[in-house]
Amino acid sequence: MGEQVAVRTRYFDEELLRAVAEGCEQVVLLASGMDARAYRLDWPGRTRVFEVDLAEVLAFKAAVLRNAEPACERVEVPTDLRLDWPRALREAGFAPGAPTAWLLEGILYALTPEAAHGLLDRVTSLSAPGSVAAFEHLPDNPALRTARTAISADMANLWLGGPEGEPDRWWGRHGWATQARDVREVAAAYGRPAPAAFDPARAGSGPGWVGTARLPRTE
């Protein structure tokens, strides 16, 4: 799991900075958790990074990072993704008319297919043409289950699968064009080993992807 997280971290860093360079001045980290990109990345001026997570998680993070300076305009959005979070996001200053770079990291696989599509519906309804969404797609497999169980019983039950099938198809259903890349291929491009749970040479492994979806600009 650690190897996969290392690969996705760099991939998402690069894709978010690319999206901002392409014109997305607002970034939304959905289920941001302890994501430190607002502090860590070299954002161009005027970038606003919205961090959406539960209030107690954001409060814990704010306490830990009280002496750190964000490298952008960082906006906390304490809300529950099961409730009316689009409203909370708009009230925090999000501009639905402007293109957005979204990050869905460490969240889709913890949702049922229906809940994941519900989340994508809401992301789509808030996205102006030219918006970008970086995501991962990690169908469960025996190696991942073994790794989770070794961490804790709660972790073992976390995987609900997310959307089913190829990412191109499920993003396509919401009108987005997708480029998904095999986790192994991205790891190799970074000079890293294939994460074990996604290495076909290992018993119990399965496929995994990181990818970027784009909502076409209208002419």
Q: State which residue has the least CB distance to ligand SAM.
A: 33
**121 touches 111 (CB < 8 A):** no
Alpha carbon distance 74, 180 (integer Å): 28
Task: With CA atoms as reference, report the closest residue to 218 among 135, 110, 97, 118.
Answer: 97
Which of these segments, 77-85, 120-128, 148-156, 204-212, binds ligand SAM (CB under 6 A)?
77-85
- Write the DSSP symbol of residue 108: G
Alpha carbon distance 180, 125 (integer Å): 22
Q: Nearer Cβ to ligand SAM, position 130 or 183?
A: 183
Q: Which of 20, 28, 107, 196 binds ligand SAM (CB under 6 A)?
A: 107
Task: With CA atoms as reference, report the closest residue to 115 among 165, 152, 52, 161.
Answer: 161
- Considering only CA atoms, give the Rg of the chain: 17
Q: Which of 21, 45, 63, 82 binds ligand SAM (CB under 6 A)?
A: 82
Which of these segments, 41-49, 100-108, 120-128, 162-170, binds ligand SAM (CB under 6 A)?
100-108
**x/- string (CB under 6 A) for ligand SAM, residues 28-67?**
---xxxxx-----------------xx--x----------
Does 80 help bind ligand SAM (rule: CB under 6 A)?
yes
- Residue 178 bridge partners (DSSP): 213
Q: Nearer Cβ to ligand SAM, position 113 or 202?
A: 113
- What's the one-letter identity of residue 50? F
Where do contacts with ligand SAM occur on this chain (CB under 6 A)? 31-35, 53-54, 57, 80-82, 105-107
